[in-house]
A and B are shown apart, each in its own frame.
Chain A
Amino acid sequence: MAKAKVTFSDVNVTVNVPVGTRIIELSEAVGSYIAYNCREGDCGVCLFEVIKGRENLSELSDQEKTVLRAHFQEIMDGWRAIGDLDKLQARMQRENFIGKHCRLACQTQVFGDVIVAPL
């Protein structure tokens, strides 16, 4: 079976996995800081950052897109409260709300080597 390498940079662990594995199946087992809650793509808690290899991840489903948008609203509100607008704008420009660098661990499958980290 085809293999891929998933590196969790926060705990310095690389896992050799069969392609098609979901990030969340690994993040909990290696003890990464990537948090999770519902495991169903609903709550947005398992948002993580793709450091390298985003082309090797599954495409976004409509469900994931919806939750990412909803979750970014929350992040924006958080930043608005803190007043760090530069950081907010930088993130918005980078992201364009479509999960380029930020994905949900419970929805994202691996098809090649990636490096990931908690947000």
Chain B
Amino acid sequence: MNKPVWLSERVQWIGAFDPDMRSFDVILKTPNGTTYNAYLVRGSEGVAVIDTVKAECADQFFARLEAVCTYAEITTIVLNHLEPDHTGALPELMRRAPQARLYISQSAQLMLKALLNRRDLDFTAVSTGDNVSLGDRNLRFLHTPYLHWPDTQCTYLEEECILFSGDVFGCHFCDERLFNDKVGDFRFAFEYYYARIMRPFREHVMKALTLIDPLPINMIAPTHGPILRDQPTRYLQRYRELSGQRLHKELNAGEKTLIIFYISAYGSTTRMAQAIRDGAEQVAGVRVSLYDMEGGDADLFIDLVEDADGILIGSPTINGDAAKPLWDLLSAFSMVNVRGKLAGAFGSYGWSGEAVQMLEGRMRGLKMRVPLDGVRVKLIPSAEELELCVQHGRTVGEHLTGSNAPRVIDMADLLASRQPEVESNATLTRE
């Protein structure tokens, strides 16, 4: 029981199996559990422990560690990622091996203090280009932030070409055979982990791959799931594919895409959506698509959302709120990176019309850009109001292409139009 696993003569897996876990970090289902992978590297002049495990699994970790070294031998502790499932056993490890030097990334420093709530911590912050020597074994650090926290880094064992990658290239898959050429089919787990954990950070994945690519790789040793020793570069290639363009390129160079999602009870918001589309399409270089969310589920659209330059959402106000399918759509936005995309809302209403500003607030909260106040129409849009929708669409299109006219505004007016109070913002009550 609790035996370590040899990756090579000098490198052992000393992690923990957690086969009964069924949901991870709230956002992931784990139908066959997970592993917390920690490793031990032995050099002629020192021993390094790379990452630890979740606190609840610490007994497994210490039993495996004790089978291959004594605490007094440990010179070095490396943390590639500070999430509690990899740092849970750290305080106890530091108590048992107080002489060991702790190596973390630059961005991990404040996090470590907040995680352990200790003031007397001593550590070395490292980045790309820094090394730590264990005599005839040397560890090199790679600064690979935002995979999937700001603190993440990779550690490379020079002499054996093993990449200790942290969460990147990992997955939740618990199989005691541990190596990718021995375990069951974990392709689903690998893809699912990428989609839910790494995808919002795909630009950072690409940057990390450029750092990793020049290195010869014999093995990738992530912090969850199988150790990738059979054709490891296949997994780098898969990450490259997954982080690239999802949909084939349909657009001409310089063309911008605007997607209008809407839902409508009596057709008023539909007519507004169509008028806004007509306006936006008048702007050269803007391609507009219209989707009625009554006919679609949020998950279907996530690839399109990731690729879009601008997104407008139209909703009637029902019981003082936007319609549920649109909230469902917005709750799926965090699966991809929408920061900085142009956004806006519009809709028809009967009494009070809160939906538009609530949707705008949510999109601002997602750090999308909302440069224009949304159009709201009381009940059925008149011909004049539809013309205002066309104009609004044109302005949105101009913002997308950067051809909008200069505007000067007073700060008080700017902030007043951002207040959640609705009556002060009745933009279309002109007779």
Binding site for B on A (CB under 8 A): 10-18, 21, 25-26, 28-33, 35-37, 42-43, 70, 73-74, 77-78, 80-82
Are B418 and A29 neighbours in the complex by a CB distance under 8 Å? yes
CB contacts under 8 Å to A, within B94-151, are: 106-107, 110, 127-128, 143, 145, 150
Q: Does B27 contact A (CB under 8 A)?
A: no
Are B399 and A77 neighbours in the complex by a CB distance under 8 Å? no
Are B369 and A32 neighbours in the complex by a CB distance under 8 Å? yes
Question: Given A28-B364, A32-B369, do A15 and B143 touch, yes or no (CB 8 Å)?
Answer: no
Are A15 and B367 neighbours in the complex by a CB distance under 8 Å? no
A26 contact set on B, CB distance < 8 A: 411, 414
Are B367 and A29 neighbours in the complex by a CB distance under 8 Å? no
Question: Given A17-B411, A73-B106, A74-B145, do A81 and B207 touch, yes or no (CB 8 Å)?
Answer: yes
A35 contact set on B, CB distance < 8 A: 339-340, 367
Are B409 and A14 neighbours in the complex by a CB distance under 8 Å? yes
Are A15 and B410 neighbours in the complex by a CB distance under 8 Å? yes
Question: Given A33-B340, A80-B128, do A70 and B406 touch, yes or no (CB 8 Å)?
Answer: no
* B206 nearest CB neighbor, chain A only: A81
Q: Work out how many contacts link A and B, with CB atoms closer than 8 A.
A: 73
A25 contact set on B, CB distance < 8 A: 415
Q: Does B404 contact A (CB under 8 A)?
A: yes
Q: List 5 A-B contacts (CB under 8 A).
A: A12-B404, A13-B371, A16-B409, A74-B145, A77-B128
CB distance from A97 to the nearest CB of B (A): 15
CB distance from B243 to the nearest CB of A (A): 14
Are A81 and B411 neighbours in the complex by a CB distance under 8 Å? no
CB distance from A101 to the nearest CB of B (A): 21
Are A31 and B414 neighbours in the complex by a CB distance under 8 Å? no
A74→B211 CA distance, assembly (Å): 13
* B339 nearest CB neighbor, chain A only: A35
CB distance from B326 to the nearest CB of A (A): 20
A28 contact set on B, CB distance < 8 A: 364
A54→B367 CA distance, assembly (Å): 26
CB contacts under 8 Å to A, within B392-408, are: 399, 402, 404-408
A32 contact set on B, CB distance < 8 A: 369, 371
A11→B395 CA distance, assembly (Å): 12
- What 7 pairs across the A-B complex have the smallest Cβ distances? A31-B371, A31-B369, A17-B411, A81-B210, A14-B408, A12-B406, A16-B410
12 more A-B residue pairs beyond the given contacts A10-B402, A30-B409, A77-B127, with a C-beta to C-beta distance below 8 A: A12-B404, A13-B371, A14-B408, A15-B408, A15-B410, A16-B410, A21-B411, A31-B370, A31-B371, A32-B369, A74-B143, A81-B210
